[in-house]
Every structure is written in structure tokens, then in C-alpha cells.
Chains A and B, each alone.
Chain A
Amino acid sequence: MLKTSSKEMLGKLGPLLGLFLIVIVITILNPSFMTTDNILNILRQVSISALIAFGMTFVILTGGIDLSVGSTLALTGAVAATMLASGIDPVLTILAALLLGAILGAVNGIIIAKGKVAPFIATLATMTIYRGLTLVYTDGRPVSDLGNEITFQMLGKGYFFGIPVPVCTMILAFIVLYVIMHKTTFGRRVYAVGGNEAASKLSGINVDRVKIAVYSLTGMLAALSALILTSRLNSAQPTAGTSYELDAIAAVVLGGTSLTGGKGWIFGTLVGALIIGVLNNGLNLIGVSSFFQQVVKGIVILIAVLIDRKKTA
């Protein structure tokens, strides 16, 4: 018997094939798509949404969902920006923002695991709460004048051997998360909880702890995105990250991860995020109106999901 059936392999490579197809079509329609500058530009844009989507993959694998990521991004970004503006050390700021993200995520996890609230409802509520807190905290105004500490500037605007630092961050995060997901006991537990929660509990897995951990991780990754975004814009907007949760969920689904949990992989999510990034950029280049772009993006997601249904049927 084959190790993985050919059907399964096709399922895994499907998103990648889709990405290539889209890239080829766009390149034919507008060759200027395929320039180093443009590609790096796309990657830099993708890095922010990809980081969030990575976290979302873990959450969705456990059978959950996190709608609060965009608000978490806004709140952590605003806090980091005010810290910098008041002259606090950038490294300390970064660590504080990441910690805050993890705490906001843990709150989601605790409500869901201990309070037994459906993830959709719990994070719908915290999405509103975190956004509200951001507005209260910033008084609804952007935070700017962050100073020009090089450490912080690098995060969003720097280059490392010609590659934008956000892209390096994304790649590094991908590698670390890939290893966690596929090579560690924690990753195994994440899949198990999503695959069969009752059996996991009876196998002695601390299901609550796994859930709290994945939401914390997602919160922390949202904070990392927030830092990159804040650095790039040199300011924090209280409305930042609105509807980012939808892009993240779309990337996860495009990558072939099942919304019912237990099945999927993070490589797919990376590809999914790239598909969305390429579409955003490419549709602009070939002159599709921004209103119509939304329609195209929606259709692509639908097609991907329909193909996925066929595959599993």
C-alpha cells in the first residue's frame, strides 16, 4: 500500500497548484508582476496576514475559531506604540506587546475551555471588547511619533540580506510553527483534540490546557503582526486589523484545513495566505477594479472549498 494515497497527495498539493496557476495567469496578463521588487512587496504584505493565519491554523485544528485576532492586533499595536512614544526601550516594548497578545489569547482560551462557551461566540464577544478597549485606550485617535529607535524600525522596514525583515520573520515563524505542529507532542495533542475531544480527554490529554495554549499562541502571533504593522506605518491605528480574521480564516481554508478540526497543515495555510496576497496584488496590476476584486477573491475561495468537498466525498 502507498504511504499516502495519490488522492491524498493531490489534496495536499492542490492549493500549491492553484497558486502556480494564478501566478501564471497574472504574469501572462501583466509581465511586470514577475519582478523581484513586486514579489518582495507581495511577500511583505502577506507576512502580516500569514502570521495571524498560522495561529488560526492551530485554533482551527482543535475545532475552534478565533474572531478576535484583528482586535487583538489593534490593542497590542496601540499599547506598543504608546510605550515607544513615551520612550520605553524597544526590546522591552516588543516583549510586552507579545506578552499582552498571549494574555488576550489566553483569556479567549480560558473562556472557551473552562467556561465551555462556543469559540465562535466567545471570540465574537472578545472581538468587540478588545476593539472597544483599544478605542478607549487611544481615545479613538491614532498613536504616532514613535521616535526612530532602529530596533523597532527594522521590524517593519528593515532588510536582511536584501529580504524584507517581515518576510524573514514570517519564514522563521513558519519553520518554528511547522516543527511544533508536526514534530512535537504538543502538535500531536492539537490534532488529537480536534480529531476527537472525548477520546483525547480519556487518553489523559489536558484538553483545556491545549485549547488555552493555542489561543494564547494565536494572540501572540497577532501581537507580532501588530508590531510589524506599527513599525511599517510608524503609527498605530485604533481601527487596525479590522476584518483580518476573515482573511486569516480564508487562508486556512484555502490551504485545505478542515473547519471541523483535526485535519490540515500549516504549509497549506502559507500557500493560502500567498494566494490571497497574489490575488490582491495581481488583480490591481491587471486593472481589476477594487470593488470587483472582492468578488474574484470570494469566488476563488468558493472554488477551492468546492474542490475540497469533492476530494473528501
Chain B
Amino acid sequence: MIEMKGIKKAFNRNVVLNNVEFTLLDGEIHALMGENGAGKSTMMKILAGIYSRDEGDVLVDGQSYTFTSAKDAESLGIHVIHQELNILPHLSVAENLFLGKEKTIGRTGFLRTREMNKEAQTLLAKLGLHIDVRQPAGSLSVGKQQLIEIAKAINSEAKYIVMDEPTAALTDREIETLFDTIRELKAKGLSFVYISHRMEEIFAICDRITILRDGEYVGVREISKTSFDEIVKMMVGRELGERYPSRDAKIGEVALEVKGLTCPAVCKDINFQIRKGEILAFAGLMGAGRTEVAQAIFGNLKKSKGDIFIHGEKVTIKSPIQAMKYGIGFVTEDRKTEGLVLDFSIKENMFLTNLKSIAKGSFIQAQQEQLQATKYIEQLNIRCSDATQSVGSLSGGNQQKVVIAKWLSTKPDILILDEPTRGVDIGAKKEIYSIMNKLAEEGVAILMISSELPEVLGMADRVIVMHEGRQTAILDNVDLTQETIMNYATGGEEVVKN
């Protein structure tokens, strides 16, 4: 059993956890929920020995400990799978699994590679992952990498496993496998802390839930005795109302048309139109080629065939700079590698797309920058100390909002959003939906890529479904069901209805 009592933590003078408690019983799956920046990851990093606590106590089986490194925590069976995965992409799957715990011949340092590979293979097979363990881990999907992280935890004989938003990048099928694994391990007496912003998952798998708000402890509940609404209210502090706000957009003429778009090996013969004021969703499984279609439209990926028309005019787009000239904006999928300069402050990131808007000639107007940044911080409700905070120290969801602000500042006519609400809390999700609605009402054409089917059904006017690089359906979002979309996403027959 793990008990965390009266935990306090401040960064500089910014208190992010104040008198928080958390108890993890043996053999339970315990959800930790709260809005972006509530302090969930920080709490778990304290448990893992990565951050030190300012006040409070951490007890494992009744005994108090002060961990000074992740190794300390691991020696007591506490294993944290962080929001940012710790996979070394160039090492093989097996090498990743045994990283730091390599088997050697005596003390010589010579590796028992064959033995480790074999063990890795059996371990992963148990998790339903049948892959060649000698391939580089970076070549696997994020979902599979997640399973490798779990295998690592099991391999290190963990008793307590913390998962910080494990499903943010998983497909539904991968989530099922993951849940089966978690349930199996729970039956063996392992405990889990499960952090997620997806309410459906919490109800599907967790036993109890602890809720944080703004670094304060709100309460703990039995899942069987609580409700969706109660949890939301505890998290947000008020009723949230409708999950998907309604919009009143007038659908106008065609803003973007794509004809026969083909990129070698990733997508083939993609055809669609988006009109002004319309939200078109791209659904499909992870790896279906949706991101690549967006990258090709935005000029960041070379296309081998196909034409792009903007406002009816045929255009050539060979780089993001050209795409932006035609009024296209692109909120990328992976905020860490493609969205943000992590060492930059919030305001420095916000205007990278549009330095002109805060400059006179070549000179940046510091005041103007600060003013505009503050405006977006308020508009998007970004939780931060101020506009000079580095984005690297923001919580995941707030980082996402900074990426969105980056593109709002360019005032796009056509906005592509790739998984815009990944890792974003329920309140902020609604804020992002409202922003999308507002943009649509202003006549912006929106292309949203999303793997969350409820979100697709809740937001889109029309849905394009992709399967293995091909477009399998264009569906009007009228009486549309998740099942229909899934059917096309997994390779149902080719039907094009416009």
C-alpha cells in the first residue's frame, strides 16, 4: 500500500500541489483525475523520486520514505510510465526492455543477447504483442511502444505501476489489449495508478478515483458509487453542461479541394472538398495515413500525384511557407517534436508562425508581444504563471493550447487540426471545441483529424474515413454511429457518398 499525505510542492514560488493526499491500495486500479495543470504528473513524479517534495510524507506499506531518484522508488517496486515515453528509438525492442538491467556473462560486460531476445519475446507475447524484438523500437507505433514500457515495468518486478495518460495515442484495439493486460496483472495483486482525461476509460477499468483541482485534493470516490457528472463537477468545480457545444455556422463555397492526392507508400487517391464554415473530420485507425494527408496538403511531405485547389484556384504548395501564404494553418499532432520550441516561453512560441504581427519592420515590439500573448492566454484559458513561463514546464494540455494559439494568431482561412484534444482535459476540450465552432462561424474551413470517435461524431459535419492509406468513405454526420465508422476504418467495402 502506498500513502501520500499532506504533499506540498512549489516551483519557484508557484505552488502546484498543496496538502494533497493519495492512497493506493494493493490490487486496485486507482484513477487520478483533474484538469490540465492540476498537478497529477507532478504528484506521480514525487512518488517516483524525480521531484522532491517540499512538505508531506510518502509511506510504502506503512514505512516512510524519501526517494532521491527513480532508482530508489523502483527498488520498492514503484514504476512510473511517464506521459512522455522513455523509449530509445534506435535501440531494439529487447535492448529497450533490458536497458540498465542487461544480462551479461559474469561481470565481463559481454551481453547475453540471445537470451535477452528470447525473454523479451516471451514477455511481450504475454501482452499480446507478437513482434520481432530485434527491430528498432522507434519503428513501432506509439501504442506498441506503450506496451513495451509496460513490459519494462513487469520485467523490473514492479508492484505499483503508474500510467500517465497511457492511451492518449492508442487505437481502440490497442486500448482493449492494454486493459486486458492491466486486469490480468491486477488479478495477480499489482496496483495501478491510472491517469487519463477520458472518462469512458475510467469507468471501464478503475476501482477508485482521486480528484485534484488546482493543486488541491478534492476527494476520493468508489467508481461504482459515483457518476460522470459528479466527477466532472469535482474536477471543474461547476457543472459543465453539454460536452459538444452547438454551432451555428453558415456553410459557404468550397475553400479547399483535394483531387487524387497520392504520396508514395502512405496515401493513395484522396479526394475531398471542404467548404467555408464546415468541419470535416478524418477518422481512421492510427497509421491509416491521415496525418500524412495533412502533411502533404501543408507542403511538409512530398506528394507524387494530385492537385490542390484553394477557393477554386489550382495551387502548388511545396513548403509550409507557401501553405501559409494560402491561409492554411496546421496544428500538428506531436506538440513536443513538431509543435513547440520547449525552451521558449509561451509568448515566444505563440508568434513563431506570425512574427510580423508583433514586429515593426524587423524589430519585435516586446510590449505588443506581451499584450497579445496575454490576450490568447485569457482567451484559451491557459494555466500558467505568466506569458514568460517556458512551455516545457507547462502541463500537457496547456502546451496543446499554446500550439493552438500559435495558429489562431495567423488568422487562417483553412485550419487543419491533427488530434487537437489529445491529452487535454474535459473542460479545455470543450474550450477547444468552442474555438473551432467560433472559427467555423467566422467562415474558416476546418479539417480535424481525430481518433476519438465521440469527438468526431460530436463535432463534424462530414466524416472521411481512411483505411491503410485509402479513403474508404465520406459520410454525412446524420444518424452516423461509431460502428459504421469503425467498419470503414477497419477496411469495409469502398463506398463514396457525397
Contacts and interface: CB of A to CB of B under 8 A. Distances in A.
Residue among A3, A195, A203 having the largest count of chain B Cβ atoms under 10 Å: A203
B348 A183 contact: no
Contact of B362 (A3, A185, A206, A263): A185
9 contacts: A1-B12, A1-B14, A5-B12, A185-B356, A186-B362, A191-B348, A195-B342, A199-B339, A203-B320
Residue among B364, B385, B386 having the largest count of chain A Cβ atoms under 10 Å: B364
B28 to A, nearest CB: 36
B140 interface: no
B363 interface: yes
A212 B384 CA distance: 36
B340 interface: yes
A204 interface: yes
Interface in A1-44: 1-3, 5
Contact of A1 (B344, B352, B363, B389): B389
A131 B285 CA distance: 56
Interface in A171-206: 183-186, 188-189, 191-192, 195-196, 198-206
Contact of A202 (B320, B343, B348, B362): B320
Nearest to A201: B320
Looking at chain B's contact residues, is the secondary structure mostly helix, strand, loop, or mixed? mixed
A262 interface: yes
B125 interface: no
Given A189-B355, A204-B353, 18 more contacts: A1-B386, A2-B12, A183-B363, A183-B364, A184-B363, A185-B362, A186-B362, A188-B348, A188-B352, A188-B364, A192-B344, A192-B348, A199-B340, A201-B320, A202-B332, A202-B339, A204-B324, A206-B321
Nearest to A187: B364
Contacts of A206: 321
Contacts of B343: 195, 262-263
Nearest to A3: B388
A11 B270 CA distance: 52
B313 to A, nearest CB: 20
Interface in B289-333: 298, 300, 320-321, 323-324, 330, 332
B338 A198 contact: yes
Contacts, number: 80
Interface string B384-398: 011011000000000
B199 interface: no
Interface residues of A, number: 25
B264 to A, nearest CB: 19
Contact of B352 (A3, A183, A184, A203): A203
B338 A199 contact: yes
Contact of B342 (A2, A3, A196): A196
Contacts of A205: 321, 352
A191 B410 CA distance: 20
Contacts of B364: 183-185, 188
A201 B344 CA distance: 16
B59 interface: no
B13 interface: yes
A203 B353 contact: yes
Nearest to A4: B388
B341 A196 contact: yes
Contacts of A186: 362
Interface string A193-237: 001101111111110000000000000000000000000000000
A196 B356 CA distance: 20
B355 A188 contact: yes
B275 interface: no
B406 interface: yes
Residue among A3, A201, A202 having the largest count of chain B Cβ atoms under 10 Å: A202
Nearest to A263: B343
Given A186-B362, A199-B341, A2 B13 contact: yes
Contact of B359 (A1, A2, A185, A191): A185
A214 to B, nearest CB: 15
A100 B337 CA distance: 37
A196 B390 CA distance: 14
B363 A202 contact: no
Contacts of B385: 1
Ranked nearest first, the 7 interchain pairs of A and B with the lowest CB-CB distance are: A195-B341, A1-B385, A185-B355, A203-B352, A204-B324, A196-B341, A184-B362
A186 B323 CA distance: 21
Contacts of A5: 12
Given A198-B338, A203-B406, A191 B344 contact: yes
B298 to A, nearest CB: 8
A188 B362 CA distance: 10
A169 to B, nearest CB: 23
A199 B298 CA distance: 13
Nearest to A193: B341
